Amino acid sequence: MTRYQAGDVSAATALIDAVSPQLHRFLVAQFASRADADDLLQETWLRIHKVRQTYRPGEPVLPWFYAIARHIGVDHYRRTTRNAARERRLEEMSEVTATSPREHHQADDLEALLQPLSESQREVIEMLKVAGMSLEEVARATSSSVGSVKQKVHRAYKILRKKMKAVGDPRTGQSGALP
pLDDT digit string, tens, across residues 38-80? 999 999 999 999 999 999 988 999 999 999 999 998 888 888 8
Mean pLDDT value across the chain: 81
Q: CA–CA separation, 23 vs 44, rounded Å?
A: 9
- Which residue in 113, 119, 139, 127 sits closest to 60, CA to CA? 139
Answer whether residue 175 shows pLDDT above 70: no
For 121-136, the DSSP string reads HHHHHIIIIIS---HH
149 versus 87: the higher-pLDDT residue is 149
Domains and CATH numbers, the chain: 1-87 (1.10.1740.10), 104-169 (1.10.10.10)
Q: What is the pLDDT of residue 104?
A: 47
Average pLDDT over residues 156-160: 91
Q: What is the pLDDT of residue 32?
A: 63
Q: Is 18 exposed, middle or buried (0-12, 13-18, 19+ CB in 10 A)?
A: exposed
The pTM of this model reads: 0.53
Answer whether residue 102 shows pLDDT above 50: no
Q: How many CA atoms lie within 13 A of 110 on its CB side?
A: 18
- Which residue in 164, 156, 159 sits closest to 128, CA to CA? 156
Answer whether residue 145 shows pLDDT above 70: yes
Helix (H) or strand (E) holding 170: none
